[in-house]
Structures are given as C-alpha cells and as structure tokens.
Amino acid sequence: MGTNAPLLAVEELSVAFGGRGPAPVKAVDGVSFSLEEGKVTGLVGESGCGKSVTSLALMGLLPDRGVEVGGRALMQLPKGPEDLLVLPQRRMRDLRGSQLAMIFQDPLSSLNPVVPIGRQVTEILKRHRGMRGEPARKEAADLLHRVGIPDPTRRLSEYPHQLSGGMRQRALIAMAVACRPRLMIADEPTTALDVTIQAQILELLRDLVTEEGTAMLMITHDLGVVAGLCDDINVLYAGRAVEHAPRAPLFTEPTHPYTVGLLGSIPRLNAPRGEPLTPVRGSVNDDIAWTDGCAFAPRCDHYTMDCLQGPPSLVERDSDPGHVHRCVNPIGHAEVVDRAVLDSPAVVGEEEDR
Amino acid sequence: MSLLQIKDLKVHFPIKRGVLIDRTVGHVRAVDGVSLSVEEGQTYGLVGESGCGKTTLGRAVLRLNPVTEGEVWFGGRDLAGLDAESMRRERKNLQMVFQDPLGSLNPRQNIGSILMEGLQTHGIGDGDDRRQVQQDRHKRVVEALERVGLSDRALKRYPHEFSGGQRQRIGIARALVLRPDLIICDEPVSALDVSIQAQVLNLLEELQDELGLTYLVIAHDLAVVRHVSDVVGVMYLGSLVEEASSDDIYATPLHPYTRTLMSAVPVPDPSVEDTRERILLAGDLPSPADPPAGCRFHTRCPWRQKERCDTERPELRPLRDAASGSTHRVACHYAEEILSGQIQPSEERAERIVTGGAADGGGGPGH
Amino acid sequence: MPTSPSSPTPLHKRKAEKVDRLAELMGSRTDEGRASGIWIDAFRRMRTNPMAITGAVIVVVFVAVALFSPLIAHYSPTSQAWGDEVFPNRNEFVGPRAENWLGLDHLGRDLYSRFIIGARQTLLVGVVATLVGFCFGALLGGLAGACAVLGGRWGRRVDNVIMRVIDMMLALPTLLLAVTVAALVGPSLTTVMLAVGIAQIPIFARLLRGAMLAQGNREYVLAAQSMGVRRHKIALTHILPNSMGPVIVQSTLTLATAIIDAAALSYLGLGNPDASFPEWGTMLAEAQRFLSTAPALAVYPALGIIITALGFTLLGESLREALDPKLRK
C-alpha cells in the first residue's frame, strides 16, 4: 500500500428501513469508523443499536427494496479505492469471499445442512481461487487444520450437524479465511458459544489478525470480548456512535454516560464481592428521537437542558484527540452535575405516577 | 438445617430407539450424583456450560423432570418421594424464574391473569366470601408487581406489550406472588441486554434483602453467578466438580475445570485482559450419554496425571489439611498438588496456554 | 422556553423546566403503533398484502351474493319460462341477452338466476362441511393432543388409538372417502356436506394435535407446571387456546377444498337428487352433455367454483403467512 489511507473508511453510514411507511425508520444514522490492516475495530452496543445492520450494509447483504443506504464506505482494493455501498451486486459477490468475509453468530444456519463441510470449503476455493480436485481438498483440510479442527481429513466428509457448536464456528471461520480476505466482519461470533469455546475462538481470531494482517470489524454486545480483542472501539446507541476511542482510554476514562452505564452494568469476575452494579435505568423504549435531542437523555443521570436542544454532535476530547463522544455534558467534564435529576420517569417505562 | 438439601441426585433420560416398540438403548446421564445444600436466606449459584446438567438439576428439584435416584430434602420432606398431588401442592413453596422472559409467559393471558393463576390454583387468599378473597388476591398481585417495580396498570396488558426487562420482572413477580421459601432462577438474565441484566440482578438482590428469600441461581456466566451468590457450585458433565464460597472460588480455584472456566471469562478491562493467564481447552464436551470413566474431565484436563484420573471417579471432598470449617470442596485427586504448584499444566494436553504479560506477545493484537 | 444553563433562574425552576421538556419530547415520540394481539397484528400485515386483499374481495363478494341471492336473482331458478326457445337436440341455445344476462340453459331456465342461487348452495355446503370437519377434527385432535401432553401410560394409549384411526382416514383419498360416505347414506345435500366434512376431519385433528404438542414444550407451560397448576387445566387453558391459530387458518383453506369436493360429488351425481335445484357442481354435470355445442353452460359454474376456491385459498394462505411467527418481527 503506497498510501496511508485505511483499508476501509466508513463515513456517515446511514440505513433507513420502510420506504412505504409514513416515516422511514433509521436503523443506523451517521456512523463513521475506519479499519486498518492488522487491527481490530469494535462496534459495541445492545440489541437494536444498529450494529448488525451496519455490517450487513457493508457486505451488501441488505435487501434492495425498502432500504435506503447513505454515506460512503471506501475500501482500498487492488485496483484502487472503491465505495462498497454503490458497487453493483455482481462485483460485491466477487468481493465477498475474496476480499471481504463475514462470520455470523449462528454457525448452524450459516452452513448448508445437506452439503458436507469439505464441499462447502472447496466450493469457495473453486469459485475464488480456481482450485479444484485433489489440491482443493488438500487445501481445505489444511484450512480446517489451521483453525484447530482435529482430524481435518475425516471432518471434510462430515455434515454440519455432526460437528459441535465450536467446531461449526471454526469451520465457518475456515471458509471465511479460505481466500485470505483482507477484511473480516465478525458479527457476534461467540455469542452462541460456551465460555471455554468462546476463549478458543477469540484466540483464533486474534491469531488471524496478528499473523495474516487481516483487518477485522468485531461486532458484539460483550464489553469483555472487546476489552481483550479490539484496538479501537465504537460504542453505538440507537443507531449512532456515541463514543469512539482506543481501547485503553475507553475503559479507563469513558466519557459518555451510556458507556459508563454499560461498564457499570457488568458483573466483573475480579471485582470484590458485594460491589453493587450501577446499571443504566429504563430501556431503549424510553428513548427520544435524535432530532429532538440526545436519544439517551431519558435514561441519563446527567442530562441538562442543553441535551434536549436538537441532535448532539460528535465532539473530540480536548485532552485526548482520538477520543470522541456525542455528548454535550460528558462525564469527567461536568463539574456541576445536577445530581438530583428527575426521579426517573423512565425507570420501568410507566412509572410517571409514582 | 439447610432449607434445601440434595443428596446424590441422579436424572437419567432414556434414549429410545425402535420402529414399533421403543427399546431403551442407553441413558443420557444429565445429572449424575449431585449433592448440595442451600442455606436459608442465602444464594447458591450453580455454574456450568451448556450440557452440564445444571438446568436439569434445577427442574428436577421441582420435579419438572423425573428424578431417577436420590433425595431432595426441602422443609423436612423428601420431594423426590412425594406423590404427584402432594408435589403439586408443595410447589407453592418453591418457585422458578425462567430464562426466556417472553416464552415463559402465556401470550394469551394478561398480566393479571398470569399472576392470579398461582393464587387460584393453591386457593390462597383471605376473606369470608368470594368477593373478599378476590380482593385479597388482587391486593397480593399488585403488591408483587410493585415489588418488582411495575404498577397495577400492567394488569390488563399482555406480555408482548412489555420490554424484555419488564417481562422478566413479571416473571419474578409471578414467582413472588405465592410467597415461596425458595426461588430457582434458571438463567434469569442471559436473554437480556447488558444494561437490563444489571437492573434485574439488583432487583433480585433487593428482594432477597427485603423478603429474606433463598435463591438457587443457575447460569452459565461465572461473573454473574459470583456476583449474586454466597456459595458457588461448578458443574461439569452432570456432576459437581467444585463448591466454595463466592470469594474462595475466585481467590483459589482448585479444580482444573474451574481454573479454565475462570481464565476464559472475558473481563471488561484491557489491563486485566492483557496480563492474565488464559488456558484454552482442547476438544469438546464428551457426550453425557457415554461419559468418560474416572474423572469426567480427564479427557480435556491439562493437569491430567497418568494414574487415577482415568480410572477412579473423584469424590467431592474438602481439601486435605484444610482448616476445619472450610466449606471449600473439590472433586479432583490432585487438588493439593495442583494448588501447591507441584503439578503444572501440560501444554500438550491443552490447545494452548497463554501466560500473562506481554513477554510472549500475548498482550493483545496489533502491538 | 429554552433557557441556557447559565441564566440566573433558580435551580429548582430550571430543573422543572428540564423535566417538562423531557416529558414533552418523550410524549411526542411517534409510537410505532403498538400491536395489541397476534390477530390484530396479523390483520395489520394482511392489509398491505395484495394477495390477501384479492382473496378478501372475492370472498366478500361471494358471501354477499350467496346471502342475498333471492334479491339479486331475476327469476326463479326452476322456472322454464323460455322452454320454447331452446332446442338442445337441434343445437339451438340462447346466449346472453338483455332479458337473460347469461343466457338460457338446455331446459330454457335463466342461467344467471341459477348461477346466483347456486352460489348460496355452494356456500352452505362449504360452510357446513368445514364446520363438521372442524368440530369433530378439533375434538379428536384436541383429545389426542391433551392426552399426549398429559402423558402417562393411559394418555399415550388414548393418543395412539385416536391417531391411528386418523391416520387410516388420512390414507384414503379425500374424494374416495367422501364417495364412500355418500354411497353408504344415499345421495342428498346432507350427504354431500357430511361426506366432505368427514373427509376433512383427519387434517384438522392432526394439525391441532401437532400444534398442541409443540405448545406443550414451550416454557410457559413449564412455568404453569412449576406453579402447581393442574395438568388438565394447563392443557385446557394454556395449550389449547394457543394451538388454535393454525386450525383456524386451515378452516379457510378447507372451505376452498370443501367447495371443490362438494362440486365434484354433485358432478358425480351424489348431490341433491332434485336435479332441477341449482348447485354449481350439478350445473356443471348437466352442462357436460352440451360441452361441444354450448360450452358457455359449463364455463359459468366452473369459473364460479374456481374463483371462489381461489379466493378462500388466497385468504387462508395470506392469513397463515401473517400469523407465521418466523415472518413476524
């Protein structure tokens, strides 16, 4: 690479659903981040924050009808940079597998149940690398071996249901890396797995990034996974990035109240016993529209009148460039935090009367 | 005297095959000889990965699964020996909170009717005539709802109108309304979003403080279990491999499986993640239909020794030379040697062992 | 109303304003039309489905015609007022004209009136046959399902016996079963309804039992059990109501098959013995003799059967789709 441009630069990505309805629902609204080779970028958020839609949009896997995708996703391809969001379907199909690969949460439904694992791998090798016959089979066995599947030659002729959950996820990773993609999107790759298996898979992904220099987008709800794996983290809330920072500052000095709340919600193995959790109150149902103000305000302990004056914009922290938050009253900055805020109209969504 | 005492409980499910006549060709040993006791007012946390039999154990206590063998002592009676009708009546004293908040609520019942059902079934409610009884029941239902942070306006609404966290609150209210002595929580938060999980965990703790409840919490997440429990039991393939107080199990995990489990739980703190030891197990969980002989864990154990491990099944025992009164129990022949460092994990038996520190480049990717 | 935080208003007032503003914004959120039930939800989805709308329009028109047929029909369906204008043996038929919109049949009866009155017969047969199938099928299936869910040795036995009988019925082709019943009882309108209805029993029974078994594994059933609710009460108040969805969908689909089956039975001469009384199947059977000379006589009842059956099928299929939990968000 002659330039310093990141492998993939996503700018102001937005996805809106429901063209026919009264108002389109914005699942993702102005999300920007970049992916670099040999680095892992994390998208963290709870269900409904738009993290999975983001990945589908980048892979070109959203349905054509009723979806409006905006923004740009510039990827450095061998023939120069191109915008993934406007590439025709046929080009995208070629890129998927060869340049881009995706790992999904549920390995069983991402594998074809009636085709042996081996054939599913060799098919990819055939399509993208023109390999066939014995060399393809050998390469497939090699791949399975690389992702830590024991006895790979025997596994080639087995069907997905014969493998355990962890082995299936490994097979899926083998298929994803079959063509040495330069960019890998992992959408909750370990959520369906047990902890000990999760540790194995995360280690495998970590190796992939360090040894092959693959750029990875890690999508997860688990801040623990993020802490161990990601270099750069975006926290998403209600379709927008609310905080973006390298991993050390994000965990040591989170500034957005939502990130702080998330971190306070997780029981930690290493915490002294009896340390209470400090969760975010309410649920996403309490959100207000981003156009009216900060969507998180109803659940926030620190909101002020300024939070309700139109959409907050992303601000860079003065002391720490590269640490960005979408908050007008970030934690650590607001000395005069009006602590005695509103007695939670939103605690359980219907507690106004109390 | 413990509130709940389980003695050598076994739950085996027959595997049936056959075209016309079902033949039993084997048994899935979902729970295979577990003994534990839950003290009144405390929380016992049962942790283990899928397929370890923790859910089956919880259900067997309520006799929602048939008990193959063993005793379940609760309030001076052996639940495993009760006839169906007495067991049904006994259930008002033991309640359950389920994993899937939506799936465990009947979609066609409104919240009032869901909460009222238990009271009606057991004929609970004070009053001289029907109307008074009905009023008393209504009072109890509203009380339970308010305890979990909902108001009586929920009564007429249906489960799908609530968010995940609210549904789980309703599930807890349903358990509370009968004023049970013991609540079995089967994965109470694993279907919820992170921020909601913490709300529900805090609620469970508040309720315990206010009402003096006893919990048996079953979960796969060691951090969650450790957070809520006084005593933690670790299950592997149908049996208990280690039991200790919540602090002890974190400070000095003795069983190799507990150690691997502990090392696999991600901690949301980069500095911890970068420096700690990670032991990666090789292979998969063996089938509970054909568990390995000897120690159940020996097929994957990085500390495995040549003798005893594959022939002799270790009992759950207190550590030798332990201080009297120690409640730390472990099912490993070599626990003392492992603790003292005499036996080191073998790299060959594990998939990989990553020791802490940046010396071996394990200090996170991209550096 | 917007106040900058630095303005010298007292703190409590600012706080109150802040709370007001938040409450206002939260109240102004466009609520995504909270669904209030599976059926209402399904209805909402069906409203935007062209397939469902087509089906519904056909069904509504058909039912309206059938209900008000005496008002819509111009003449008596049996009156042979124009008998001297039609000579089938000389191939002289009367086509559509101002007096008789669809022309005359081979006996000089007004085809339009017969078609309209025939719709009523068809609907009657369809509805009664479906009701018979639904009632007995749901009864048997519900019993078998309840027994299977309740478990125990006796439960499994009762379930087994019922299901084997149902399987035997299912093994016979619907029409053959219907013909057998009709042949045993003798031709009449009641026979057709009974025969077609009985032939539908196994489908309903299997469907309900299957749905009940599936519901029996749900967690809310376990929850009810863990509360100590009696098992038979669980089967009746929890499992059964939640299993009715597919059965109700099936009944709209069955209406379509019932109409076709009834027409087929009438066509085979097992229907109403009074041949002068119109029914689409009977009309089709009569028109068959003149198929080469006056095809229009067969076309109208045939089209009637096809379109009505299509209407019910479309409605049923889209209802099933709308209720399918996999397709729901």
Alpha helices for chain A (secondary structure H): 51-59, 89-98, 107-110, 117-129, 133-146, 152-155, 165-177, 195-212, 223-229, 247-252, 257-265
Look up the domain containing B54 and give its range: 4-242
pLDDT bracket for residue C101 (50, 70, 90): confident
Residues B299 and B168 reside in one and the same domain? no
- How far apart are alpha carbons C312 and C238 in whole angstroms? 30
- How far apart are alpha carbons B271 and B254 in whole angstroms? 24
In a domain, C329, yes or no: no
Which of C135, C61, C45 is CA-nearest to residue C319? C45
Residues B286 and B326 reside in one and the same domain? yes
Q: Do B227 and A196 touch (CB under 8 A)?
A: no
- What is the token pair recorded at B257? 């499986």
The per-residue pLDDT for B108 is 83
Residues B159 and B50 reside in one and the same domain? yes
Residues B49 and B179 reside in one and the same domain? yes
Q: How many Cβ atoms are within 10 Å of C84's Cβ, its own excluded?
A: 8
Write out chain B residues lying below 8 Å of C225, CB-based. 64
Write out chain A residues lying below 8 Å of B49, CB-based. 194-197
Residues of chain A with pLDDT under 70: 1-4, 19-22, 333-354
DSSP string covering B127-159: -SSHHHHHHHHHHHHHHHHHHTT--GGGTTS-G
Would you say B84 and B257 are in contact if contact means Cβ atoms under 8 Å apart?
Answer: no
Would you say C185 and C114 are in contact if contact means Cβ atoms under 8 Å apart?
Answer: no
Would you say B215 and B228 are in contact if contact means Cβ atoms under 8 Å apart?
Answer: yes
pLDDT bracket for residue C44 (50, 70, 90): confident
| DSSP strand pairing (A100-103 vs A183-187) | parallel
The per-residue pLDDT for A151 is 84
**Where a domain ends, among B210, B242, B274?**
B242
Residues B320 and B346 reside in one and the same domain? yes
State the SS3 of C136-155.
Answer: HHHHHHHHHHHHHHHCHHHH
- How far apart are alpha carbons A62 and C216 in whole angstroms? 36
Which residues, other chains included, contact B316 with Cβ-Cβ below 8 Å and sequence gap of 6+? B35, B239, B240, B241, B242, B243, B329, B330, B331
| Closest partner CB to C35 (pick from B117, B121, B160) | B160
Write out chain A residues lying below 8 Å of C2, CB-based. 305, 309
Q: How many Cβ atoms are within 10 Å of A197's Cβ, its own excluded?
A: 24
Residues B149 and B221 reside in one and the same domain? yes
Cα distances (angstroms) measured from residue C192 to each of C125, C186, C250, C260, C267: 7, 10, 20, 11, 11
What is chain C's Cα-based Rg?
28
Q: How far, rounded to the nearest angstrom, does the alpha carbon of residue A264 sit from its chain's CA centroid?
A: 21
Write out chain C residues lying below 8 Å of B115, CB-based. none
Residues B70 and B129 reside in one and the same domain? yes
Q: What angle do CA A254, A255, A258 make, to 5 degrees?
A: 85
Helices and strands: H and E segment counts in chain A: 11, 12
What is chain A's Cα-based Rg?
22
End-to-end CA distance of chain A: 62
Strands (E), A279-318: 315-316
Residues B215 and B319 reside in one and the same domain? no
| Residue B195, min C-alpha distance to chain C (Å) | 20
- How far apart are alpha carbons B87 and B75 in whole angstroms? 13
- What is the token pair recorded at C17? 């304003």
Q: Is A315 exposed, middle or buried (0-12, 13-18, 19+ CB in 10 A)?
A: middle
Number of domain units in chain C: 1
Bridge partner residues of A10 (DSSP) = A33, A73
| Closest partner CB to B150 (pick from A261, A276, A348) | A348
- How far apart are alpha carbons A26 and A23 in whole angstroms? 9
- How far apart are alpha carbons A227 and A247 in whole angstroms? 7
Would you say B174 and B119 are in contact if contact means Cβ atoms under 8 Å apart?
Answer: no
- How far apart are alpha carbons A151 and A168 in whole angstroms? 14
Residues B121 and B207 reside in one and the same domain? yes
Cα distances (angstroms) measured from residue B239 to each of A51, A86, A274, B149, C53: 39, 56, 28, 37, 58
Q: How far, rounded to the nearest angstrom, does the alpha carbon of residue B271 sit from its chain's CA centroid?
A: 30
B118 inside 8 A of chain C by CB? yes
Write out chain A residues lying below 8 Å of C14, CB-based. 305
Cα distances (angstroms) measured from residue A123 to each of A131, A133, A137, A149, A175: 9, 10, 10, 19, 10
Q: How many Cβ atoms are within 10 Å of C82's Cβ, its own excluded?
A: 18
Number of domain units in chain B: 2
Bridge partner residues of B44 (DSSP) = B216, B231
The per-residue pLDDT for C328 is 46
| Closest partner CB to C227 (pick from B100, B121, B160) | B121
Torsion (CA) B207, B211, B216, B220 in degrees, nearest 10: 10
| Mean pLDDT calculated for residue range C289-306 | 86
Q: Do A277 and B153 touch (CB under 8 A)?
A: no
| Closest partner CB to A305 (pick from C18, C26, C28) | C18
Write out chain C residues lying below 8 Å of B99, CB-based. 219
Residues of chain B with pLDDT under 50: 357-367
pLDDT bracket for residue C325 (50, 70, 90): low
Write out chain B residues lying below 8 Å of C224, CB-based. 106, 117
Q: Is B318 exposed, middle or buried (0-12, 13-18, 19+ CB in 10 A)?
A: middle
pLDDT tens per residue, range C167-206: 988 888 877 877 887 788 888 888 888 888 988 899 999 9
Which of C72, C82, C63 is CA-nearest to residue C116? C72
- How far apart are alpha carbons A229 and A226 in whole angstroms? 5
Torsion (CA) C260, C266, C269, C270 in degrees, nearest 10: 90
Q: Do A350 and B151 touch (CB under 8 A)?
A: yes
**Where a domain ends, among B184, B219, B242?**
B242
Share of chain C above pLDDT 90, in %: 18
pLDDT tens per residue, range C12-34: 666 777 777 777 776 655 444 44
Residues B319 and B200 reside in one and the same domain? no
| Residue C225, min C-alpha distance to chain B (Å) | 7
Cα distances (angstroms) measured from residue C240 to each of A252, B24, C216, C244, C258: 54, 31, 9, 7, 25
| Residue C115, min C-alpha distance to chain A (Å) | 41
Higher pLDDT, C235 or C105: C235
Q: How many Cβ atoms are within 10 Å of C307's Cβ, its own excluded?
A: 12
- Phi/psi at B15 (nearest 5 deg)? -100, 120
Alpha helices for B160-244 (secondary structure H): 164-176, 194-211, 222-228
Cβ-Cβ pairs closer than 8 A, A with C, add up to: 54
Would you say A202 and A186 are in contact if contact means Cβ atoms under 8 Å apart?
Answer: no
**Where a domain ends, among B242, B276, B303?**
B242
The CATH number that applies at residue B237 is 3.40.50.300
Query: Which of B106, B108, B140 should we substitute to test contact with C (largest number of C Cβ atoms within 10 Å)?
Result: B106
Torsion (CA) B34, B39, B41, B43 in degrees, nearest 10: -30
Cα distances (angstroms) measured from residue C51 to each of C46, C308, C312: 8, 14, 11
Look up the domain containing C45 and give its range: 38-77+99-323
The per-residue pLDDT for B43 is 95
- Indicate if the pLDDT at residue C324 is higher than 70: no
- Chains near A, with 3+ CB pairs < 8 A? B, C
The per-residue pLDDT for C108 is 80
- How far apart are alpha carbons B315 and B310 in whole angstroms? 14
| Residue B265, min C-alpha distance to chain A (Å) | 6
Angle (deg, nearest 10), helices A133-146 and A117-129: 110
Least confident of A26-30, A116-120, C132-136, C323-327: C323-327
- How far apart are alpha carbons C295 and C292 in whole angstroms? 6
Q: Is C114 exposed, middle or buried (0-12, 13-18, 19+ CB in 10 A)?
A: buried
- What is the token pair recorded at C18? 């802040």
Residues B212 and B128 reside in one and the same domain? yes
The per-residue pLDDT for B204 is 94
Would you say A233 and B88 are in contact if contact means Cβ atoms under 8 Å apart?
Answer: no
In a domain, B42, yes or no: yes
| Closest partner CB to A304 (pick from C5, C23, C48) | C5
Bridge partner residues of B352 (DSSP) = B280
In a domain, C87, yes or no: no
Q: Do B366 and A46 touch (CB under 8 A)?
A: no
Q: Is A146 exposed, middle or buried (0-12, 13-18, 19+ CB in 10 A)?
A: middle
Would you say C106 and C88 are in contact if contact means Cβ atoms under 8 Å apart?
Answer: yes
C26 inside 8 A of chain A by CB? yes
- How far apart are alpha carbons B301 and B303 in whole angstroms? 5
The per-residue pLDDT for A2 is 45
B147 inside 8 A of chain C by CB? no
The per-residue pLDDT for C94 is 76
Bridge partner residues of B16 (DSSP) = B24
Q: Which residues of chain C are at the B interface, by a Cβ-Cβ cutoff of 8 Å?
A: 34-38, 218-220, 222-230, 233, 238, 241-242
Residues B203 and B294 reside in one and the same domain? no
To the question of pTM greater than 0.95 for the whole model, the response is: no
| Closest partner CB to B88 (pick from C34, C228, C241) | C228
Write out chain C residues lying below 8 Å of A297, CB-based. 22, 25
The per-residue pLDDT for A304 is 83
Q: Do C15 and A340 touch (CB under 8 A)?
A: yes
Length of chain B: 367
| Residue A17, min C-alpha distance to chain C (Å) | 13
The ipTM is: 0.85
- Phi/psi at A325 (nearest 5 deg)? -135, 155
The CATH number that applies at residue C269 is 1.10.3720.10
Q: Do A345 and C5 touch (CB under 8 A)?
A: no
Q: Do C5 and A305 touch (CB under 8 A)?
A: yes
| Residue A273, min C-alpha distance to chain B (Å) | 6
Bridge partner residues of A26 (DSSP) = A16
